[in-house]
Amino acid sequence: MTTGLKRPSNYYMELIQEFPPRPISTEAELMVTQTRIHSILDKPSLTQDDRDYLKVLGMLVYDYEEQHEPMPTLKGVALLKALMEESNLQPNNLVSIFGTETNVLEVLNHKSQLTHYQVQELAEFFHISSTSFT
């Protein structure tokens, strides 16, 4: 007998019976699974069973996307823009690296190139390899 596992609630079993989690192998299955995820997320409040079930479905979506939808490789200014957006940063947040907000904007608008110093500082700031920018 396995110990440490709790018996699923009736509600959790209903979730599984309504939409049994299965590995996703097609774009159509992905869309249906994402629709199911959204229908649960649209509920006014989520139970722990909802969150557990969403985690399972999320893992299935993640596995499919990892196999079928590779992430694009961003370099240079495109990477900088993505990192800024992800971190909710504005150009003025990078003045310590670029010297002035104008310098930041010139790089972001491709009017100026990243310097070796800026690349090193950005890599440290975002905790990534400096080679990501080149």
Please state which CATH class domain 76-133 belongs to. Answer: mainly alpha
The mean pLDDT of 87-115, rounded to a whole number, is 96
Q: Domain residues of the chain, as ranges?
A: 10-68, 76-133
* pLDDT, tens digit, 9 for 90 and up, residues 19-63: 999 999 999 999 999 999 999 999 999 999 999 999 999 999 999
What is the number of residues in the chain? 134
Checking 71-74 for CB contacts under 8 A at 24+ apart, the result is none
Answer yes or no: are the C-beta atoms of 120 and 130 closer than 8 Å.
yes
Distance, CA of 129 to CA of 126 (rounded, Å): 9
Q: At what angle do helices 27-41 and 48-68 cross, to 10 degrees?
A: 150
pLDDT above 70 coverage of the chain, percent: 95
With vertex at residue 120, the alpha carbon angle to CA 115 and CA 124, rounded to the nearest 5 degrees, is 145
Alpha-carbon distance of 70 to 50, in angstroms, equals 29
Q: Give the pLDDT band of residue 69 (cuts 50, 70, 90).
A: confident
By the 8 A CB rule, do 27 and 61 touch? no
Gyration radius (Cα) of the chain, Å: 22
Q: Chain-wide mean pLDDT for the chain?
A: 92
